[in-house]
Amino acid sequence: MSQTKNEVVILLGANLGDRKAMFSQVKTYITEHIGDCLKESAIYASKAWGFASNNEFYNQVIVVETEFSAHDVLLRCQAIENHCGRTREKGNEYEDRTIDIDLLYFNNDIVDTDDLIVPHPFLQERRFTLEPLCEIMPDYVHPIFLKTNAQMLKECRDKGNVTRV
């Protein structure tokens, strides 16, 4: 009996330390503990979003094939963040970080639980998410808004500068 294959779209973010090396390490852990990476965007740089920081963020979108549920992927991503030194000093407030792993999409599923919301509730508001997402999945249709990633990028009110590294 074969396992069900799910496709999860993940955003990596970091603004502390050697960000490129961290992304490489995290992608290795994701492959080992979640599933195979099918696609990845370039890395993009931008200023912090939602809080003030002097440290530039790097972001990258990856698409991973997994046999795990969305909730299991979340728990595994949180374990990877912890293993890589992620700390949460301010609870739910935004802050500088060594690594942040967000689930953007999980198949075409809509998940709304206390600890997980998919599609990610702010992806349409964040140019730093939409730019790398559109590089590898411009025609993917958001299951709630019924707009492609490219349409959401075009309509995005975030005018922050996002540049390819």
Q: What are the DSSP calls for 56-84, one per residue? A: PEEEEEEEEEESS-HHHHHHHHHHHHHHT
Look over the chain and give the mean of its residue pLDDT values, rounded to a whole number: 92
Band of pLDDT at residue 94, cut at 50, 70 and 90: low
Res. 43 pLDDT band, cuts 50 70 90: very high
Q: What is the pLDDT of residue 93?
A: 61
Give the model's confidence band at 1: pLDDT under 50 very low, under 70 low, under 90 confident, else very high: very low
Provide the residue type at 111 as one letter.
Answer: V
| Closest CA relative to residue 11, chosen from 107, 126, 158, 143 | 126
pLDDT reported for residue 95: 74
Predicted local confidence at residue 92, as pLDDT: 56
pTM above 0.75, yes or no: yes
Please tell me the predicted confidence (pLDDT) of residue 85: 80
Q: Could you give the 3-state DSSP secondary structure of residue 129? A: helix
Average pLDDT value for residue range 112-119? 96
CA 17 from centroid of its chain's CA atoms: 18
Stretch among 1-5, 122-126, 137-141 having the lowest mean pLDDT: 1-5
pLDDT in tens, 47-76: 887 777 888 999 999 999 999 999 999 999
